[in-house]
Amino acid sequence: MNSAVWKGGSDCWVWLGDKEGSFRVSSVKRSLVNNIDYSNNYVMRWSKWVPTKCNIHGWRAEMNRIPTKDVLEKRNIPVLNKSCVLCDSSIESTDHIYTGCTVAAVVWEHISRWCKVPPIFGFSVRDLLELHKVNYIGANKKEVFHGIIIIACWTIWKARNEKVFEGKDVKIEEIIADIKSFGYFWFKHRSKGKSIDWSNWCKFSFM
């Protein structure tokens, strides 16, 4: 206190997180995040014409935040049969369902032929979500292809859940049909592609 000099006036509060001394929510946010390194965090690009539920599923799948059997077991939830319900050939995990499962492999093969791209291969969900960035896909088709990948992931998971909770048989042709029909309906009514017809959609023609 010996070094303090009284300058007169009344006491007041000063917020040290802002150069003007005023308290603002934005300055609190900056002080909280400035020391956090986000450089290695993946940021998923959402598709504008795809419903939120599909985008959220893709986002959660990339982070391994969907309730696959291996994840449930790690959370001490009893799992009697850990095999993938789609192919029954390996332990069910996020990466297996979308990149290692034989059912998914057939789905990706069909999509690659339908969208006129080289065979689709990936080792993780992130690989699939980044496919639209490759150079061999035309600029006018990148957004559409990206949405189709997200819809395909959601539809595969939907088929998996129907098998688990309803006992419904997994039919690859139905999964593919759902991807095409859901995709057409959502693209036609949720994007600028309202003039596209079913025939051009099935040909993946947007010129």
Count of structural domains, the chain:
1
Q: What confidence score (pLDDT) does residue 145 get?
A: 95
Q: What confidence score (pLDDT) does residue 205 get?
A: 86
Q: Is 146 a domain residue?
A: yes
Q: What confidence score (pLDDT) does residue 37 get?
A: 58
Greatest pairwise CA separation for the chain in angstroms: 86
pLDDT means per 10 residues, the chain with 207 residues, are 71 74 79 64 91 97 96 93 95 97 97 94 95 82 95 98 96 98 95 84 84
pLDDT in tens, 118-171: 999 899 999 999 999 887 777 778 999 999 999 999 999 999 999 999 999 999
Q: Is 4 a domain residue?
A: no
Which residue range forms the structural domain that includes residue 127?
52-202
Residues in the chain: 207
Q: Is 156 a domain residue?
A: yes
Q: What confidence score (pLDDT) does residue 28 get?
A: 77
Beta-ladder partners of 83: 91
**CA 162, 165, 166, 168 torsion: positive or negative?**
positive
Q: Is 94 a domain residue?
A: yes
Q: What confidence score (pLDDT) does residue 144 get?
A: 94
Q: What confidence score (pLDDT) does residue 138 get?
A: 79
Q: Is 164 a domain residue?
A: yes
CB 135 within 8 A of CB 118: no
Q: Give φ, ψ of 83 to 5 degrees.
A: -70, 150
Q: What confidence score (pLDDT) does residue 10 get?
A: 77
